[in-house]
Each structure stands twice: as structure tokens, then as C-alpha cells.
Structure 1
Amino acid sequence: MSYTVMMTILTPTYNRAKTLPKLIESLYSQTTTNFQWLVIDDGSTDDTESIFEKLKNYDLPFQWEYHKKENGGKHTALNFAHEYIKGEVVLILDSDDYLTDDAIETVEKEWPLYRNCADICGMSYFRGKKDGSHLSVANAQDIYIDDDIHYLVNRRIKGDRCEVVRTDFLKKYSFPVYPGERFFSEGWFWNTLAMNYKTVYRNKTIYICEYLEGGLTKSGRALRMKCPLGMMDDCRMYLNNKVCVVVRIKEELLYWVYAKCAGYSFKRALSTSGRPVGMMLTALPGMMLYSYWKRKYLK
């Protein structure tokens, strides 16, 4: 029996009016039109809204929706999207990136092979560059099934990938939101899923990146230090025995940095970490790292 997969391409955007035309062009060029494009505008102050007003005059071959909210950060835009998602699976497409022409058709053909596997949360493809290179490491097997922690974190594989996730999982694990913090690591979400679910990894590029100045990828350490409560949540996801020792120690050091940024006392930082014994051993170097980064990034 064959299936028709309905995908949602979810684009959280903020002041990216100049890059949206390229993204729209890539969606218009898809080899299949059985998808929803859902745009959540996180309070843009440029011409983003006018672009979508004009788009209403065009007969696009796919469904699309545009919703605007108060600025709160990408993670809040992803949470806000929940009630509007119509697809069975979701691909998060940043507004300064775009898809290859066969991206959606590829997922439509491959996801049905795994949709009835209760332990599979989604699929993961390469993100690439215009020059044809890709950002992550190819696996020896074209198709490989594992969880993110074992496959990516413990093997210390770097480079962003393009994830397609079950819609019900995206809705189930909403991003925590802290007042005044406009950044929250997406890694928290994928590591949360990795505790109980596996991903299908593919050696195929379906997503092209355009990293721009001012984007989250370029924002760096200072942004994270200004959003310490969310970053502490992210660190906690690594402080368990499923994560290898080297990575765990690194995250313990980071936890101390962010706890100090949040104004936590030594005792409170220990008690909220979930690993007070291990954290005792990294306290001093963690405090030293905080002092150094504070001078360097929070001038």
C-alpha cells in the first residue's frame, strides 16, 4: 500500500525579508506540491509582513500560512506554531536557507518506510553549501539508524543537519521559555528525543545553508551567556550516563558558567544540576572559565 506524506515546512523568521525570496523560489521549484509552508514571524520590523501580503496575489501550488507574533526568540516561534501545523512530519527551514528541488519528494518517498516504527522519531539529512559540500560527516552506510546522543554527541560529530520530525513529538516537547531570554538551544529538543527514540540518518543533502551575520549561528557565546536559564536546561540534557565522559565534563563546565551568569549560588547550582558529585569536581575550573568568558564576552 502506498502513502502520500503531508509535510509541514516550518519557517520561524525575524527580519529576513531580503533572504525570503530565495527560500520561496526553492519551495516553488519543488518536484511535489503536497506540503504546507507555515511561517511564524517573530516580530519582524523590516518588510517581512509586506512580502506575505503581496504573496496573497499569487497562485502558489502549495498551501501556506503566515502568522505574526511578538518577538521572543526562535524557540517561542516554534512553540507558537503548534496549533497551525497540518503535516504528519515537520521540517524546520530557517528563513536564510532553502531546500534542494527534490527535498520534499525525497522525504515523501522515504518516511513511509519508518512511519509505523514506534521507536523512530524522524529522519536526518545533510545540510549543504552552494559549492556542493555538506556540513556533517558521511556515514559508511547510506542509511543508519541510531539515537542522536550515541551517533552524534558521543562520536563528537559536528555540523548542522536537516531533521524531519514527527509532528506529535514537536508538540509534546515544547521548548521551555524564560522571561527575557530570547535564545534556547535546539539541541535540547533533539537530545530529549534521543533519550527514548532513534533517528534515521541519510547521506543525502536536501537543505542548503546561508549563514548570515546577525543570525543565531553567528551570535556566539555572548548570546548564550545572556540566556543562562535556557542554557542550563540544555546542559542538563548531557549530564546523564548515556553521554560519554568527555562530553559530560565539558557540559558540567558550561553549566557552572551559565549558573554563575544566572546568579546562582554554589549550593543552588549543585542542587539543580542533577549530578552534585560530578559537579563538585568541575566547580573550580568552571568558575575560572566563567571569569574568563565574562571579561571576554560580556564587556
Structure 2
Amino acid sequence: MDLKELIPTYNKVKEESYQYRFTIFTPVFNCEKSIEKVHQSLINQTYKNFEWLIINDGSTDNSHEIIERLTNTSSLSINYINNPENQHKMGCFIQAISLAKGEFLLTFDGDDECHPNALKIFNEEYLNIPTNLKNKVCAVTGLCEDQFGNRVGDTYPETPYFSNTFKSTTLNNIKGEKWGFTKTDILKGINVNSQIFSKGLIPESIIWNLIAKEGYITKYINKHLRIYHVDIENSLSSTSVDKRSYGSALDSIAGFNWFFNAYHFKTPKYFLKKLYVLLRASKYLPYNLGDYLRAIDSKVIKFLFISLWPFRKLTI
């Protein structure tokens, strides 16, 4: 299949009515030791207008049995989906969008915790968005801390800080784990070719950059809401370079096509890095040089890619 046909696209959809304020989405792969901790964090929430959507992504441990017990005994409203085959986190995320009954979708991994007032703060921060920005703001995102109370990642230059994922990470160099919700109506406008779900890990950045390309912004806040456990391998997203190759290639090509014309002078390092990543990924993919050139829009990037193609085997 043409590489370009695997890059997500966007079509705005009509607003819907939702049963809950939030859908808390937890993708699970072998989380038998931590899923009850996630459940307890949600039980402790002071804001109660949410559902918990759990998608078990083909776990091989006892996750299914534990989740079934929670589903049958918990006071929470739980929608549990047990996928027989692993389709990776991106596949689960797109599945969650179609299933969400909440106005806002918030991903909450199977080994995380959050502060009891996290949902309350998210809701208040959304309500406080100026009226003239409400239609442009697609998300509210806060900070994370580790299990020892230390901040994980950078803070924002001010709070609230209105920007988008591409600008905040690429132009302002704000790095590290963050946590936030996105409007479900906006996520429903994302079109993803289902063939990519079987091609390994697809980075979430391709989704957030697509939303940024469409002109939506995020309200960022310097408040610690999620407890992100460091030094614990995430089985859902941990994989080798070759198994990330499809995702890396698509993310790189999308970055060129969506942002190069507007930002090549402002952030040349970003595009040079993506060029290297694409060359490295190409070693593992069944495409020839012409396939990549047809997928890339920029003539400048095409020229650089052709020039560097003979040296791609030197990438590590």
C-alpha cells in the first residue's frame, strides 16, 4: 500500500450528546499487578461524572480475570472490552474513540495513578477557558510527577499556556510526560487506516500533530495531576527499532508534509532529525526510494532524502 495512504487524515464531525463528562480510557497489556491500583485512583476521584473504558489488548497474564472481577464488584461505571489479539496502543486508542460515551476522552494507562482531585481540576480548567477560545481549545493538559513526588518533565512558561503539541514540543522544547483530555468530538474526526494497527507501534505524536495541523490548541496548566511510575517498563509501548519502523516512517513523512513549509526556518533540527529517523526506518520496510518520494510533498526534503539514501545502512 502507498505510504501516504497510511497517514491519518481529518474530517470535522458534528457535535454529539454524551452520557458522561469524561471517558477514562485504560489500555491494558499484562497489567495484572497494577490494574487494581488504577481502579483505586478512580474510586478516589472527587468528581464522579465519568465512565471507565478498559480495553484489554490481548494480555497473556491474569489481567482479564482481575478486570472481570472489578467489573462485577466495582461501584464505577465500567465498559470492558477484551480484545483476543494484540493490536497495539494506537489501535486501542482509535477503538476507544468510537466507544467513548464521555464528552472528553482521557487516557489513563494500566500502571498509573492520579490525584483524587484530578478530574475536578480538569473540569474546572475547561470551564474557565475564555469564551472566545472555547471552539479552538480541544484539550486541557497538566503535569506528571513520579511515585516519589518529583516532577516528571518540563513545566510550561506560564499557566495557563495556550499552544499546540507541535509548537510546545518543537518550538518551545517542552519535553517529558504530560497528561490531559481531548474533546471526543474532535477525536472522532480522525481517520486512521486500520492496516497500520498490525504494523507495530505507531507514535501518539502523529495524532496530536494532526490535530495541531487542523488549527486546534490546548490549554496547558502547571498542575501535577498524574502519578507516572518511573523505571517500570510499559509492555504496551515497549518495542524494538524494527517494530517501530512503520510508525516512525509515517510520523516523519507526516511531519514533513504538515509542517515543513511553515516551520523549516524556525526549527530545522526537527526536520533533520525526522529525515534521519525516516532513513533508519526505511531499512526495515518493504518500500523502494520511489515509494518514499511519492509520499513526501516537499521538493527540498525529496532532494535531501535522495542524496542520503545510499548512506541509510549507516544509521543505527
User: Quick one: which of 77, 80, 99 aligns to 1:84?
Assistant: 99
Alpha-carbon spacing, 1:145–1:38, altered in 2? closer, same or farther (3 Å)? same
Alpha-carbon spacing, 1:121–1:37, altered in 2? closer, same or farther (3 Å)? same
Match of 1:201 in 2: 220
Looking at structure 1, the residues matched to 58 and 69 of structure 2 have their Cα atoms a distance apart, in angstroms, of 18
1:68 matched to 2:86? The reply is: no
**Cα shift at 1:21:** 1.1
Q: Is the 8 A contact 2:200 2:244 kept in 1?
A: no
In structure 1, the gaps of 5 or more residues are 294-299
Larger relative contact order, structure 1 or 2 (CA cutoff 8 Å, min sep 6): 2
Query: How big is each residue's C-alpha offset from its partner over 1:74-116, in whole Å with a ceiling of 9 and x where there is no partner?
Result: 1111122233211111110111112111111111211123396
Q: Is the 8 A contact 2:20 2:51 kept in 1?
A: no
Looking at structure 1, the residues matched to 304 and 74 of structure 2 have their Cα atoms a distance apart, in angstroms, of 61
**Cα shift at 1:142:** 1.8
1:221 matched to 2:235? The reply is: no
Match of 1:191 in 2: 209
Identity %: 25
Give the alignment's TM-score, normalised by structure 1: 0.87
Looking at structure 2, the residues matched to 101 and 207 of structure 1 have their Cα atoms a distance apart, in angstroms, of 10
**Cα shift at 1:157:** 2.3
Q: Is the 8 A contact 1:270 1:280 kept in 2?
A: no
Alpha-carbon spacing, 1:287–1:102, altered in 2? closer, same or farther (3 Å)? farther
In structure 2, the gaps of 5 or more residues are 1-18
Match of 2:187 in 1: 170
Query: How big is each residue's C-alpha offset from its partner over 1:184-214, in whole Å with a ceiling of 9 and x where there is no partner?
Result: 1100011111111111010011111124225
User: Quick one: which of 252, 257, 261 aligns to 1:241?
Assistant: 261
Q: Is the 8 A contact 2:41 2:116 kept in 1?
A: yes
User: Quick one: which of 30, 51, 68 aligns to 2:45?
Assistant: 30
| Higher alpha-carbon deviation: 250-259 or 277-286 | 277-286
Aligned-pair RMSD on alpha carbons?
Answer: 2.3
**Cα shift at 1:290:** 4.2
Q: Is the 8 A contact 2:26 2:54 kept in 1?
A: yes
Alpha-carbon spacing, 1:160–1:279, altered in 2? closer, same or farther (3 Å)? farther
**Cα shift at 1:221:** 3.0
Give the alignment's TM-score, normalised by structure 2: 0.83
Q: Is the 8 A contact 1:74 1:182 kept in 2?
A: no
Q: Give the paired residue count.
A: 286
Q: Is the 8 A contact 1:120 1:197 kept in 2?
A: yes
Q: Is the 8 A contact 1:38 1:66 kept in 2?
A: yes
| Higher alpha-carbon deviation: 86-95 or 250-259 | 250-259
Looking at structure 1, the residues matched to 42 and 310 of structure 2 have their Cα atoms a distance apart, in angstroms, of 47
